[in-house]
Structure formats: C-alpha cells, structure tokens
Amino acid sequence: ERTLPVPESMLGIFQEIVTLFAIVAVGYGAKKLHFMNNEFDRMLSKLVINIALPGMILGSVLTATQLPSAQEVWECLGLSFASMLIMFVVAYGFTLLLRIPDGHRGVYRFMLCFGNVGFIGYPVLTAVFGPDALVYAAVFNLPFNLFVFTVGAWFLTQDTDGVKVQTTWRTFVTPVMISCLVAIVLTLLGIHHAPILGDALNTLGSITTPAALLIIGSSLANMPARELLGSPRLWICSLFRLMVMPVLIWAVFSPFVPSGLMLAVTIMLTGMPVATNGTMLCYQYGGNSRVMAQGTFVTTVLALASIPLLASFVTTVL
C-alpha cells in the first residue's frame, strides 16, 4: 500500500476551491442575465447525467497509466461500501435528532451522505497528495456512483409533494449505473490503456464539471440572495458533513485499515461539499432543489476553510 506523501502548499487547495466557486458565480450571473433558464437547466442536467458523466467515469479508468493491484481494488471497494453504509445510518439518526420535518428529510440525508467526490474531490486530492491519490479515488468513486443514483435518488423521491414517487428497478438502470459497472469490471481486469477510446470519453466527460457548476449557480439565482444561507439546521448539517463525518470515518476504520494513501483518500472524500449532481437529481426525481441548492452553496463556501483543516488533520493522524 502506498505511503502518504507530504502535502503541497495549502494555497493550492484554496485555489482549486475558489476556481470552482467562480464557475458557480458565472452560472448565477448567466441566469440573472437570461442566458440560462429553468428549461435549459433541466435539459443540460439530462445531458450531463446521461452522456457526459458516464464518459467521465469510463474515461478515468481507460486513460489511467497505473491501477492498484486486484487486492487493493477489493480493499478500496470494501472500504468505500462500508463507509457509505455508516454514513447512511448516521444520516438517518442525525435527521431524526435535528427533527428535520417531512419534505426535507430526504434532501438532508442526501447532503450528509453524498459529497462532491468527482468535481471537487479529484482536484483537491491532487493538490494535497499528488496524482497517485487519483488511482484510489477512481476506485472509491465507483460505489459512490452506484449509491448516489439508487439510494440517493430514492432519498429525494421521499420529499416530493403529494403522493410519493413509486420507484422500481427500471428507475435506476441508467447510463451512469451501467458505466459504473463496466468501470468496475475493467478495473478488476486491469484494462486501463485505451488511448483513442479513453481520450474520447475523457474529453466528453470534461464538460461535466463546468456544466454541473453552471447549473448550481443558475439554480441559486432562482432564490432571493437572503435565502442562499438557509436555516440554522442547514448550517449544523453542513458543519457535520464537512468536519464531523470524516473524523467519524477515521475513528471507525483507523484501527483496521493501515495508515496510508487509501485511508487518507477515504477520509478526505468523506469531507467534500455536497455533491453537485444533487441539484441535477432534484430536477430529475422531483426533490427539494431549493434546499439542495442552499446546502451546496453553504458547504462549498465553508469548504474554503474546512478542506485545508481536514487535510492538516489527515496528514497529522496518518
């Protein structure tokens, strides 16, 4: 297992977060200037979820110069699944403890469980630990994508007004789900060098991050500025998501998982801001997009401070 490298300057982390947040601001301005509207947001969300994101998932495997050993892949997959299950249990308990009302519990549980692994996690890991961390992040991200489009989508359907949406197995047979399964098989088989196909998928997937961030900014523009900060409950949830959840994951797994890059990646990815595809999934499944947009905004702003603190914590304890 690879040892933990010495992190680069924290300035690099700040730069990555500020850069991403700037694109959200562009989306906000585009909606205000009428370059984007709600229908455009829905169609762009559909394009990202069904075409660009699957391309990014498959491209990350097919352009990798090196993959972990089969044993490390299974260990990383197991760690990812186990950490997600723990977060599900914690999220249920936390929303009951905070007495989150009906119509909001699903989106709060989504925000607690699903962080911005791909869009912010990858650049942050590169800034902190170097490119070797992305090998583990790509493997770790596979179960995340399986869960976000199944359990995460189910969370959001529980917040819809009136009769709850009835979901079946067909609801979750999506291009993202299929691409995740294919990526897992390719990783286990060690197939990762396909220059033309991999580069094409990577290029297609490269529109995912800016498009998703533009959609978030545009959705934020639908609300009055005073509503962007949300409620005290949202702030408590955001701080728990960014700081408490990763420390909890460290406390649970550190006695069993050797200190090293795999565990560091797991802890860091657990402390990312709310997943950008949460807003897009709200459009698709009828979830509470207003609260989701607030949670995305608040956690992304707080991440300017929380991610450097978390990086310092990880490099200190591991």
**28 residue type, one letter:** Y
Name the band, by pLDDT with cuts 50, 70 and 90, for residue 166.
low
Name the band, by pLDDT with cuts 50, 70 and 90, for residue 308.
confident
pLDDT one-digit tens code per residue, 68-116: 777 888 888 899 999 999 999 999 999 999 988 887 889 999 999 999 8
Is the pLDDT confidence value at 177 over 70?
yes
The secondary structure of 177-242 as a DSSP string is: HHHHHHHHHHHHHT----HHHHHHHHHHHTTHHHHHHHHHHHHHTTS-GGGTT--HHHHHHHHIII
Q: Which residue has the higher pLDDT, 205 or 118?
A: 205
pLDDT one-digit tens code per residue, 296-306: 889 988 988 89
Domain of residue 18, residue span: 10-317
Q: Average pLDDT for residues 146-150, to the nearest whole number?
A: 82
Please check whether residue 280 is in contact with residue 49, taking contact to mean a CB–CB distance below 8 angstroms: yes
Cα–Cα distance between 123 and 67 in angstroms, integer? Answer: 18
Residue among 304, 154, 282, 149 nearest 222 (CA): 282
Is 292 contained in some domain? Answer: yes
Domains identified in the chain, total number: 1
Q: Average pLDDT for residues 270-291, to the nearest whole number?
A: 84
Is 3 contained in some domain? Answer: no
Is 232 contained in some domain? Answer: yes
Cα–Cα distance between 180 and 231 in angstroms, integer? Answer: 35
Q: What percent of the chain has pLDDT over 70?
A: 91
**309 residue type, one letter:** L
Q: What is the pLDDT of residue 3?
A: 58
Q: Which residue has the higher pLDDT, 184 or 235?
A: 235
Is the pLDDT confidence value at 228 over 80?
no
Is 58 contained in some domain? Answer: yes
pLDDT one-digit tens code per residue, 27-62: 999 999 999 998 998 899 889 888 988 888 888 888
**166 residue type, one letter:** Q
CATH of the domain at 17: 1.20.1530.20
The gap from C-alpha 206 to its chain's centroid, in whole angstroms, comes to: 16
Is 110 contained in some domain? Answer: yes
Is 2 contained in some domain? Answer: no
Please check whether residue 49 is in contact with residue 284, taking contact to mean a CB–CB distance below 8 angstroms: yes
Is 19 contained in some domain? Answer: yes
Q: Extract the tokens encoding 156.
A: 């959001």
Cα–Cα distance between 138 and 62 in angstroms, integer? Answer: 11
Q: What is the pLDDT of residue 163?
A: 41
Is 163 contained in some domain? Answer: yes
